[in-house]
Chain A
Amino acid sequence: MNKVMSNKWIIFLYTFPALLLIGVLIVVPLILSGYFGLMDWDGIGAMEFIGLENYITALQDSKFWESALHSFLLALFSALSLIAYLAVALILASKIKGANLLRKIYLIPMLLSSVAIAQLWIKIYNPSNGMLNSILRGLGIENPPTWLADPNIVLFAIFIPIIWQYAGFYILIYYAALKNIPESLIEAAKIDGATPLQIALKIKVPLIMNVFKVTIVLSIVGSLKYFDLIYVMTSGGPNGASEVMASYMYKLAFASYDFGYGSAIGFLLLIITLIVTVIIQKLTASKDKIQY
């Protein structure tokens, strides 16, 4: 038995396809990205080695810093909005009739492609004929904002569809975690005279803190990678006001054919994401495991 289950040839056969795909299409490209970043290269012609020049340029490139700032702002908004999702989940999980149906309705936007969501919200935000301004005019507001065309508003305007897309997902996760809390704990608190609000804040929330911490990491790291929605909705505009790291990288490579510099930005995106992941995981790491 043990001999059969530790047959090296079989183990190789079963893991090789996965390792080959991941090695060739994930690991190698990531390493190459750092390497290409050392080149002056238009993607077609010969590469010229220029050392760290692209990386130094990036550090002095105000457009890159602006895009990084926008990515981090979106990450901050995303992390803050988790509190609202948690509040909804707390209400939903407190023996509400129809909770299951509501949870499903909340989740529907999460299933749509970012492209479809972006196109739909372009229509919603359309200054003259969109749903939003039609409603605002109906309410008597004469000159509603132009939303995606306004550099001061665009980043917030983009964040609304992001909430729309992900709210159901986080509510789903919190709801599942809340439903895992043993009923006996809640009952005991009730007998001791705790109000529903006290039970929610002092018992339920601390008990699902581990899950909450995981979602903080997910939302922040996920935000640093935003691309599809923004690329389709504004393509980083107007005038760079909604540019994020991934969209800046994409434009450098596939619109300006600056593959060397684009690779350097892509590699920086990787490094930044990994550093942020490690930092948040360190910050949110809990020393004591919660036990019921």
Chain B
Amino acid sequence: MRRIGYILLYVALGLVGVFQIFPIIWLFMFSLKTNQEIFAGNPFALPTDPKWENYLKVFEGGIGTYFWNSIWITVVATVLTILVASMATFAITRMKWKFSGLVLGLIMVGLMIPIHSALIPLYNMFLNVNLIDNPISIVITYATYNLPITVMILLGFYTTIPREIEEAAIIDGSSIHRLFFRIIMPISAPIMSTTVIINMIYNWNEFVFVNTFISSDKFKTLTVGVQNFIGQYMTDWGAIGATLVISVLPIIIAFLFFSDKIMEGLSASAVKG
């Protein structure tokens, strides 16, 4: 009786796993098929003769530009967020001043608000300073909207740094900047790497800001570029599949290597109650 119960539980967990993973496997498979093969109707069939040409077609169509934009915008915005968030977290948790709680509260407001409420004014502001269709608008928006979550993740670690470390440094004649850049930042490397990976995932996947602020193809990132491609390929399922695979592969590969960091970051982003 107990055994049967356990088997049923495993079956249930396995079914959930299939539901979660099969659509992605199906995507990989149809990215290597021809339309005839896909439309023949067996979604479980392996591609008979893998059509790598689908990928070639997508690269020749110019997905490289979107890919490169996604990479550099993701990296620059992430570096900016981590630097600004680390400095603010340092001042809030390690320095003594009256308004630290207030400033923290202000930063945390960003966690609750729906970004769409700010979208029209943001668009208008960028239009007025000539930053519409300029990647700078995307970089600073990403950097800003990821600040609250980054500060929140850093906060827990920063409050646990022993006072003695600071005292020793200051007594040795170190300046605050030296203390921050040479001691605090290096010892917070593990938690910083968690925020880096979370920031990168958010930036890589972001859609609405790019869709609103960027109109030239040369500045678009993958999420919006994928939309273009799919509009253009219409009924060519293989090419659409290849486009989607190219856009999700970096994240899936990152997950294979950094799954523990990613899970840590995602949990931290939730448990704020």
Contact = CB atoms under 8 A, between A and B. Distances in A.
A188 interface: no
B87 A124 contact: no
A165 to B, nearest CB: 10
B112 A277 contact: yes
A158 interface: no
A21 B230 CA distance: 35
A5 B24 contact: no
Interface residues on A, range: 35 or more
A273 B117 CA distance: 10
A54 B103 CA distance: 34
Interface stretch (A57-65, A73-81, A110-118, A143-151): A110-118
Interface residues on B, range: 35 or more
Interface in A85-121: 88, 91-92, 94, 96, 102-116, 119-121
A104 B110 CA distance: 29
Interface of A: 1-2, 4-8, 10-11, 14-15, 17-19, 21-22, 24-30, 32-33, 36, 43, 88, 91-92, 94, 96, 102-116, 119-121, 123-124, 128-129, 131, 134-135, 137-138, 164, 167-169, 172-173, 176, 210-211, 213-215, 217-218, 221, 224-225, 227-228, 231-232, 245-246, 249-250, 253-254, 259, 262-263, 266-267, 269-270, 273-274, 277
B121 A228 contact: no
A128 B226 CA distance: 23
Contact of B95 (A5, A109, A123, A231): A5
Contact of A270 (B27, B114, B122): B114
B257 interface: no
B144 A22 contact: yes
Contacts of A168: 20
Interface string B180-222: 1000000000000000000001001111100010000000001
Given A6-B95, A123-B241, 5 more contacts: A8-B97, A22-B107, A30-B118, A88-B13, A246-B116
SS class of chain A's interface: helix, strand, loop or mixed?
Answer: helix
Contacts of A6: 95-97
Contact of A227 (B9, B118, B208): B208
Contact of A111 (B120, B143, B255): B255
B165 interface: no
B109 A27 contact: yes
B88 A17 contact: yes
A17 B144 contact: no
